[in-house]
Amino acid sequence: MTDVFSHEAFRRSLQRDFDLTAAIAELNKCLVQPRQVFEVYNGLDDDVSHTPLFYILDADPRVQRKLLPTQLLQHPVLRQVIAMKWQNFGLRRYSEQLVMYMLLLLSMGLTTTESCAPTFIALEIALGLVYVACRGLRYPTRHCFALATAFVVALVIVTLPPVLEAHASRAALATMTHLVLLFSALYFAIFELNEMFAEVDPTNRELDLGCASPMLKKVLYYAIFCPLSVVVQFALLLCGASDAKYFAASDFNKLQLPAFVATCVVAGCALQGTHLRSLSLSLQLVLWVLSLQYFEVHAVLGVYVHLLKRMLRQVLAILVLYVPCHIGLTLSYTQLFQHSNEPAYSSFAASSRSTYLVLFGHFDYGPFERLGSTLGYALLLTHATIVLLLLGNMLVATMVSVIDQPLAQQEALVSLAECVLRSEKAAGLARLEAISVEDERRLLLLRVDSETYVAIAIEEGPSLHDHVASMRSELADARAMHAASQATLEQLVTLVQTWKKDKSP
């Protein structure tokens, strides 16, 4: 008898033995028995932390350093599981979050600009309706759903603004916008907290301080325990510790939760009539930058998002190298112009600003010409040489990042898997039950043939084609056996009827 997929063996190969080959061997068992894919899909039990995707994406830092377990996502079985989960619930939950984030951005913009235009308020209402409608989104009817929601949004935007302008006051519209901002920010803050504490069973998310009410215990858990844990994890991140799994899991995670909490503060103050203008402007920029993460699951745009992130890391690395040079040059310029009346170098802050602008090609020769010092020209030439060298290295590093596109494709696949896993963390594990072996095979073939594999941003390798051909062959054999059994049964029925006729007088 063929071995079956073992969750315990798969987990042990990653977390204890650090053996990627053993993990692949467990997944290969699903190639022999396609129905075993459902074991990988459903996990060990109803706990999302007991699923293969969780073992891979939320692996211990030691495992990540030794194995790089995300390589397993390229396996045909896991690619198939990701595609199935994306179709079954991932697309719907992703759409819900996308619509809610659009609502957050819109309400944040209206709060920042203190605008209450009826058209934008109508757009908020339309997005709220779309969010509710997303609960009924299904993958096979996604195109019809998109057309229907676009029609509803257009209808609301056209018909509702005159009604709001005639019957709603400016204060009421402003209050509505602030409430939408508060609730949308709370929505994402709670979502991030659920993701952070996904390993904690929902029934155990309580803080017992002597109160009897279960609801109050849950409120205390999220109001006291969670914020303290967030602060501790963020402090560990700043110290470089590996225990800050949530913040270290993604570049976006380092900004999301603090940004959403700060947005709640802005919304609360706006409801009280106090507008934190500086904080609102900063948060608006941060929130728009964070919206890039919603492009990560796209087949093409996801690759460019990861290339952009890697390029940004290169830029930050170059800027870190430039900091010592910047400080030294700033001090030199400040000392050089200390007895002159040049506004650009009148203080350390002014010199620092002028020195930094040289990075962007802003060379002001006027102060040096008026100073008439050879040392000044030598210092400026040295400064220009340093900038050219650093920018040249940045260009080379950026080109290398762009050329290494397969790695970006792998990162895009990881992002899609993380999107699916985040949905499971926040909403719980959605198990898939099949009726019969033939139904399972038919379902698997539908998943493999679907266009979701294109959306994963990876190319189908020979192993996947072989796997599909094998599954089709097995399904054809099953159908042939079914037809043969039906024919045999019909022959038996005919023989029995003939025998009865012969026996009858």
DSSP string, 330-376: HHHHHHHTTTS--GGGSSHHHHHHHHHHGGGT----HHHHHHT-HHH
Full-prediction pTM beyond 0.75? no
Q: pLDDT band at residue 401, thresholds of 50, 70 and 90?
A: low
Q: Which of 237-241, 418-422, 436-440, 501-505 has the highest mean pLDDT?
A: 418-422
Average pLDDT, the chain: 77
The helix (H) or strand (E) run that includes residue 17 is none
The helix (H) or strand (E) run that includes residue 140 is none
Of residues 238, 239, 258, 248, the one with CA closest to residue 193: 258
Dump pLDDT digits (tens) for 155-178.
999 999 999 888 888 888 999 999
The alpha carbon of residue 429 and the mean position of all alpha carbons in its chain are separated, in whole angstroms, by 18
Q: Is the pLDDT of residue 472 over 70?
A: no
Q: How far, in Å, CA of 474 to CA of 37, rounded?
A: 15
Q: pLDDT band at residue 448, thresholds of 50, 70 and 90?
A: very low
> Which of 210-214, 272-276, 283-287 has the weakest average pLDDT?
210-214
Q: How far, in Å, CA of 248 to CA of 61, rounded?
A: 10
487 is written with which tokens? Answer: 């024919």
The helix (H) or strand (E) run that includes residue 135 is none
3-state secondary structure 42-81: HCCCCCHHHCHHHHHHCCCHHHHHHHCHHHHHHCHHHHHH
Q: pLDDT band at residue 454, thresholds of 50, 70 and 90?
A: very low
Dump pLDDT digits (tens) for 177-231.
999 999 999 999 888 877 777 666 666 667 777 777 777 877 777 777 777 777 7
Query: Tell me, what's the pLDDT at 115?
Result: 83
The answer to whether the beta carbons of residues 5 and 26 sit under 8 Å apart is yes
3-state secondary structure 176-226: HHHHHHHHHHHHHHHHHHHHHCCCCCHHHCCCCCCCCCHHHHHHHHHHHHH
Percent of the chain surpassing pLDDT 90: 13
> Which of 70-74, 79-83, 311-315, 427-431 has the weakest average pLDDT?
427-431
> Which of 443-452, 466-475, 479-488 has the weakest average pLDDT?
443-452
DSSP SS3 for 253:
helix
Q: Is the pLDDT of residue 474 over 70?
A: no
Q: How far, in Å, CA of 177 to CA of 116, rounded?
A: 8
Q: Is the pLDDT of residue 452 over 50?
A: no
Residue recorded with tokens 């042939």: 480
Q: Is the pLDDT of residue 107 over 60?
A: yes
Higher pLDDT: 408 or 435? It is: 408
> Which of 135-139, 294-298, 332-336, 471-475 has the weakest average pLDDT?
471-475
494 is written with which tokens? Answer: 């005919």
Residue 345: C-alpha distances to residues 9, 132, 159, 197, 261 (Å): 67, 58, 59, 51, 40
Q: How far, in Å, CA of 385 to CA of 126, rounded?
A: 55
Query: Tell me, what's the pLDDT at 165?
Result: 87
Query: Tell me, what's the pLDDT at 9?
Result: 85
DSSP 88: I
Of residues 381, 498, 415, 406, the one with CA closest to residue 458: 406
Dump pLDDT digits (tens) for 14-66.
877 777 888 888 888 887 776 778 788 887 777 777 888 888 887 666 666 66
